[in-house]
Amino acid sequence: MANLITFQIFYRYIGLIALVLTISGLAFVLWRVAKYRHISGPWPCRISHHYVAMFELVRQRPQAIARWHRKYGPFVLIAPGEVSISDVTAMRDLYSSSKRNPKSDYFDRFIYHGERSIFAEKPYEEHKAKRGLSSAFYQATSIYKPEIQQPLRQKALGVRETLERHSKMEPIIDVFPVINHYAWDNITALVYGPRHCSHAVQGDYTDRDILARLKNTEMWNSLKFNLPFAHDILEKAVSVYTGSSKFLSAERDLDVWAMQRLAYSLSDPKSSSDWSLIRLIQDLRLAGRDISDDYVACEVIDNLHAAQATVTVALTYVVYHLSRNPDWQAKVRAEIEALPREDDGLPVWQLLDKAPILEACIRESYRINPVSSGRAERILAKGTRYGDVYIPPYTVASASTIALHLDPSVFPEPLEFNPRRWLDVEPEGLLRLERSFIPFGYGARLCLGKAFATLQVKMLVSAVLLTFETALDDPSRIMEQWGTQDALPKGFNCKLRFRKRKDVS
C-alpha cells in the first residue's frame, strides 16, 4: 500500500511538472508572438521557424522572402525572432560598422577545422582583428598588380582557346563548367601561388570532378542543416545502392585536396617568391603573428569554396544576359575593341575596368541575378526603430537582396535587363540606384573578394567577346536560380551558341 501511495504521489508530481512545462512553453510562444505582433508576415512564421525552413529545403528561401516583401512591405517577420528587411535606410544601418551587430548562428555552418574564417567570424571585434590580417591583400591595389593579373590574363586566354577548339566541332557549348574551371584555377593560384594551383581549364580530371560534385553537394546542404539525420541516411543509402562513396563527399574530398596543396606550398621554399595568400601567412608568421595551422586551413577552405562559386555564378549570368541581349553585346564589344591592348591581345586593365557600358551590363546582371543567397544575418545588439517599426534587441535580421534589387520604385521594370538605367542617369539618380545595390554586401563586412571577382569577370568577358559572337541555344530560356548559399543556376548549365567573328583570324 505504501508503495502504491508513493507511485501515485510520484505520478502526480510528474503530471504537475509536465503541466508547468506545457504552460511555460505556451506562455513563451505567446510572449514571442506578442513581441513581434507589430511586424507583418505570413502567420505560420509567427509561431515556428519551420515554415521558412520548408522553403529552404526546397531551395527557394530567398525567393519566398522576396515575395513576402512584395506582399507585406519592407519589414517581414520570417520566423519567431527573425526579420527580413528591404528598406534601404534600415539595411545600411543594420550592416554599418557603427552598429557592430554580430553575425548569427547561421555562420556556424562555415566552421572548418574547428576554426572560423573571416567570413564566419560572428562578433564584430574578432572579425575586425582577423580582417586586419589580410584585408590589404584583397584590395584592388594589390589584386591588380602584374603578379596576379598576368597569370589570370593567361587563364582567360586559355578559356578562349578551349572555346575556340570546341566550337569547331560543336557550336553549342555549355559554358557553366568552363567558367567554373576558370574561377577555380584563378582562386587556387591566388591562394597557393602559380606553382601549386589547379589546372582545371587544361583538363585535370581531379579538379573537374571535385568541382562538379561540389555543386551537387550544395544542393543537399539545406537537408544537411535542417534534417541532418535524413541527410546521413540519404548519403549512406545512395552509397550502398551505387557501391560508391562519392555521393555528397565532395566537401571532404576538397578538404583532402586542399590540405595536400597547402602542405606542398608551405614546404616549398620557392613559394615565398610568389604573390599568394600562403606567402602572406608565412610573412605574418615571420613577423611574429601567432597563426595556427587550423586557422590557415580554415581560411584556405573558405577562400576556395566561396571564390570559385561566386565568380562562377557572376560570370555565367553576365555572359547569359549578354547572349540574350545581342544589342548590348555589340555595344560592349565595340567599347572593348576601342581600348588599347597589351601584348597578349587583351585590353589594358586600367582602361577596361573603367569601361562604362561593360560596367553597366555587369551591374544589371548582378542586380537581376544575385551572386549569393544574400543571407547575411545579424543579431541586433540594440533595439532599433525604423519609422513606425520597432525591431527588438537580439532579433536576427537580414536584408533581402532580391527584394532590394527588384524594387520597382528604384528600378522601374525590374525584371528587364536594361543597362541604360546605369548610364543615362544624373549623379543623384545614380546614387539612389547604388544605395539599393548590394551584390557583394554592404558595410564593414563587404566581400573581400570583390576586386578579384571584378578582374576575373571583365577579363574573361573581353577575351570571349573579342573573338566570338554568342547567343542562347534556347532563346526562350529564362535561367532561374536556386535559393542555395551560392545561388546556383537551375540545371547547372548555360548553353550558348558560339560563332567566331569573321574579322578574327
Contact 320, 479 (CB under 8 A): yes
Strands 396-399 and 82-85 come out as parallel
Closest CA to 445 of 156, 180, 134, 119: 119
Assign 501 to helix, strand or coil.
Answer: coil
Q: What type of residue is 190?
A: L
**CA separation, residue 377 to residues 84, 91, 232 (Å):** 9, 11, 27
Q: Give me the pLDDT at residue 224, please.
A: 94
Please tell me the distance from the alpha carbon of residue 420 to that of residue 422, in angstroms, as a whole number: 5
For residues 452 and 279, is the Cβ–Cβ distance under 8 A?
Answer: no
Q: How far apart are CA 253 and CA 177, in angstroms?
A: 19
Question: In this structure, are residues 321 and 368 in contact, taking their beta carbons and an 8 Å threshold?
Answer: yes
Could you tell me the end-to-end alpha-carbon distance of the chain, in angstroms, rounded to an integer?
103
pTM of the predicted model over 0.85: yes
Domain ranges for the chain:
39-500
> What confidence score (pLDDT) does residue 245 get?
87
Alpha helices, H only, 369-449: 401-405, 420-423, 427-435
Return all residues near 219 (Cβ < 8 A) that are at least 6 apart. Answer: 59, 482, 484, 488
Helix (H), strand (E) at residue 3: helix 2-35
Grid cell 562604362 is found at 356
Q: What is the DSSP letter of 384?
A: E
Strand partners, 398: 84
Task: Please identify which residue in the block is written with the cell numbers 535606410.
Answer: 89
Intervals of the chain under pLDDT 70: 1-11, 15-16, 18-34, 505
What is the reported pLDDT for 268? 87
Considering only CA atoms, which of 304, 305, 442 is closest in space to residue 376?
442
Q: Write out the three cell numbers for 154.
A: 593567361
Give me the pLDDT at residue 104, please: 96
Q: What whole-number distance in Å separates Cα of residue 481 and Cα of residue 487?
A: 6
The closest of 184, 320, 323, 312 to 258, measured between CA atoms, is 184
What is the residue whose three cell numbers read 582545371? 200
C-alpha cell at 253: 574530398
Return phi, psi of residue 98, to 5°.
-70, -30
Quick: pLDDT tens for 48-57.
999 999 999 9
CATH number of 39-500: 1.10.630.10
Nearest to 348 by CA among 175, 202, 153, 119: 153
User: How many CB atoms within 10 Å of residue 367?
Assistant: 26
Tell me: the pLDDT tens digits for 395-440?
999 999 999 999 999 999 999 999 999 999 999 999 999 999 999 9
Amino acid letter, 340: P
d(CA 190, CA 387): 45
Cβ distance 128 to 100 under 8 Å? no
DSSP assigned state of 481: B
DSSP for 325-376, please give it: -HHHHHHHHHHHHTS-B-TTSSBPHHHHTT-HHHHHHHHHHHHHS-SS----
Q: Angle at Cα 198 formed by Cα 196 and Cα 204, nearest 5°?
A: 130
447 known member of a binding site: yes
147's grid cell = 603578379
